[in-house]
């Protein structure tokens, strides 16, 4: 699915600001960009239209030789994080062009993609919000158990997708409809109202909706 242009950033944490009416607005502070274009893909050469952007300068010893050769074409140095954004039409961006927070404005609706906080291995009640068994008589030491999950002789196995205990979190999550409250180009900072996925210092991709 083709996407609108965006920018990479890091989630710094939360704070609050006051609007014109004096109301406190909770916001997430994201330090974003500048993100240079490190590759431009077109329908003719790659089969689809896309732009690759980069973030976080890296030392030469922390990069591979193929990556150094790839990034040398843009002439912007070495970077740790690369992300590709698909586009509807032919890319208008040029190799080496930089994107900054100035591409956004207060009031814009954006979607933010990040990796959710990992919760480790969790039981079925916490992972899937199950109610559990009753706490009155007739129930002994099975209050948080899975209960019956199998089948009869046919098919004789547990179906895939059954909601059971397992790893929770640490997944790619996209939150839609978030609002940009303020943009501060001098600090490369965006203030976003809404649920931004990921932990502090987590990498996020902010795209226009």
Q: Over 90: is that where the pLDDT of 140 sits?
A: no
Helices then strands, each counted (H, E), the chain: 3, 12
* Residue 72 host element (H or E): helix 65-72
Q: What is the domain range of residue 78?
A: 34-99
pLDDT of residue 3: 63
Domain shared by 109 and 203, yes or no: yes
Domain shared by 59 and 117, yes or no: no
Hey, how many other C-beta atoms are within 10 angstroms of the C-beta on 62? 9
CA angle 52, 56, 57 (to 5 degrees): 105
The closest alpha carbon to 205, from 78, 69, 113, 76, belongs to: 113
Question: Which of 50, 75, 99 is where one domain is finished?
Answer: 99
Domain shared by 75 and 89, yes or no: yes
What's the pLDDT band for 149 if we cut at 50, 70, 90? confident
Phi first, then psi, for residue 84 (nearest 5°) are -110, 135
pLDDT per residue as tens digits for the range 61-111: 999 999 999 999 999 999 999 999 999 888 889 999 999 999 999 999 999
User: Tokens at residue 156, please?
Assistant: 């004789």
pLDDT per residue as tens digits for the range 5-56: 899 999 999 999 998 899 999 999 999 989 999 999 999 999 999 999 999 9
pLDDT per residue as tens digits for the range 155-203: 888 889 999 999 999 999 999 999 999 999 999 999 999 999 999 999 9
Is-contact 52 39, C-beta < 8 A?
yes
The total of structural domains in the chain comes to 2
Domain shared by 121 and 25, yes or no: yes
- Residue 187 CB-density burial (10 A; 0-12 exposed, 13-18 middle, 19+ buried): exposed
pLDDT of residue 156: 86
CA dist 54 and 46 (Å) reads 19
Residue 91: helix, strand or coil by DSSP?
coil
Domain shared by 196 and 109, yes or no: yes
**List of residues 6+ apart from 195 with CB closer than 8 A:** 175, 178
pLDDT per residue as tens digits for the range 112-138: 999 999 999 999 999 999 998 888 888
pLDDT of residue 133: 86
Residue 13 lies in a domain: no
Is-contact 62 80, C-beta < 8 A?
yes
Check residue 45 and report its DSSP letter. Answer: H
Domain shared by 60 and 89, yes or no: yes
pLDDT of residue 100: 94
The closest alpha carbon to 35, from 94, 100, 119, 104, belongs to: 100
Q: Over 50: is that where the pLDDT of 1 sits?
A: no
């Amino acid at each position: 699915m083709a996407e609108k242009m965006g920018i990479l950033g890091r989630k710094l944490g939360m704070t609050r600001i006051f609007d014109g009416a004096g109301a406190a607005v909770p916001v997430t502070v994201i330090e974003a960009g500048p993100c240079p274009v490190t590759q431009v893909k077109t329908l003719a050469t790659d089969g689809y239209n896309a732009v690759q952007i980069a973030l976080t300068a890296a030392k030469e010893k922390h990069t591979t030789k193929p990556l150094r050769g790839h990034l040398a074409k843009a002439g912007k140095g070495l970077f740790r994080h690369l992300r590709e954004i698909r586009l509807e039409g032919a890319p208008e961006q040029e190799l080496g062009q930089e994107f900054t927070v100035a591409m956004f404005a207060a009031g814009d609706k954006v979607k933010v993609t990040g990796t959710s906080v990992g919760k480790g291995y969790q039981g079925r009640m916490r992972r899937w919000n199950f109610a559990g068994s009753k706490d009155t008589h007739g129930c002994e030491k099975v209050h948080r158990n899975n209960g019956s999950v199998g089948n009869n002789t046919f098919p004789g196995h547990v179906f895939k997708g059954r909601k059971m205990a397992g790893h929770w979190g640490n997944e790619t999550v996209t939150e839609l409809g978030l609002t940009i409250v303020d943009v501060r180009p001098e600090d490369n900072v965006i203030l976003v109202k809404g649920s931004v996925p990921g932990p502090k210092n987590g990498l996020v991709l902010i795209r226009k909706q």
